[in-house]
Amino acid sequence: MERIPVYLDSNVIIDIADGRENELLGLLMRSIYDGPYCYPFSAEQISEITDDKRQSRNQSRLMLLSDVSRNLYFEHSVNSLQFRTELTTQVFETISEVALSKSWDADFANVISYEQQLEARTAFGLTTDDLNNMSAKEAINTINSSLSNYEHEFQENQIKPPRSLEDMMVYTEENMREHFSPLWESIGANIDSELRNQKIVCLFSLIDTFGFGAIQKKHIKKAHD
C-alpha cells in the first residue's frame, strides 16, 4: 500500500512525548498501522525537539519520533533530496557533530514574529481553523485567491506585489540564485538542486505562515475514520 507522507509539527511530538496528548498518540499509531499515512522526520525537527542540556528527555523524544516515523527520514542536504531509512538517534548525533547553532535557528524564526503572522492572516482574510478543514489543494487555492484579490495601496515606483504563492516562489528563487550561487559553487554544490531544496522549505514556511499545516486531533481522527 502506497503511503501518504504527513510532516508533523515539532510541537506535536513534544506534547506527546511529555505526556500531554495520549489520545492523539493513539490516533497516530492507529493511522500508521491501519491507514494510508506515514510520518517522516527531518534533521530540523530533531533540532527543534532536543536540547543539549536535557539528554534524558532527548532520548525519550527521539524514541517516540522513531516509533511514529518508523525511521523514515526526509533528507534535504546540499547534495541530496530523498526519503530514506535512518535512526533518529543517528541523525541527532550527526547534527550534534556539525554543531548546528540553536541561536541562529531562534533568530531566523523570529524574523517574522507570530504576531506579524496573525496580522498577515487577518489582512488577507485567512484563518487557521478554516484552512485546516480543507485539503492541501483547497487550502493553497484559497491562499492564492486571497493574495490575488487583495487590494494594495500602491506608491510611486513600487514593484508589483506577488499575487500567488507561485509568484512568491519565483521571487525567492531569483533572490537566492543571485545571492547564494557563488557560495554554492565554492563548496561544489549543485545550484539547481540547492534551489529546489530551499524552495520546498520556503513553500512549507509560507503556507504555515498563512495558517495551513497545524495538526489537530480532529483532523487525524477524521482521516483515520
Over residues 186-202, the pLDDT tens digits come to 767 788 887 887 788 88
| H-run or E-run covering 74 | strand 72-76
The SS3 assignment for 32 reads helix
Paired sense of beta strands 4-5 and 37-38, if any: parallel
Q: What is the pLDDT of residue 215?
A: 45
Say if residues 38 and 32 touch (Cβ distance below 8 Å): yes
Q: Which residues pair with 74 in a beta bridge?
A: 83
> Residue ranges per domain, the chain?
4-109, 114-224
For the residues of 86-125, what is the DSSP string, one character each? --HHHHHHHHHHTT--HHHHHHHHTSS-HHHHHHHHHHTT
- Structure confidence by residue, pLDDT tens digits, 85-117: 999 999 888 776 554 434 444 444 455 666 777
Q: What confidence tens digit (pLDDT) does each residue in 147-192 have?
A: 999 887 777 777 788 899 999 988 888 888 888 888 778 767 788 8
- The model's confidence at residue 140, banded by pLDDT at 50, 70 and 90, is very high
Distances (CA, A) of 107 to 101, 104, 111: 10, 5, 7
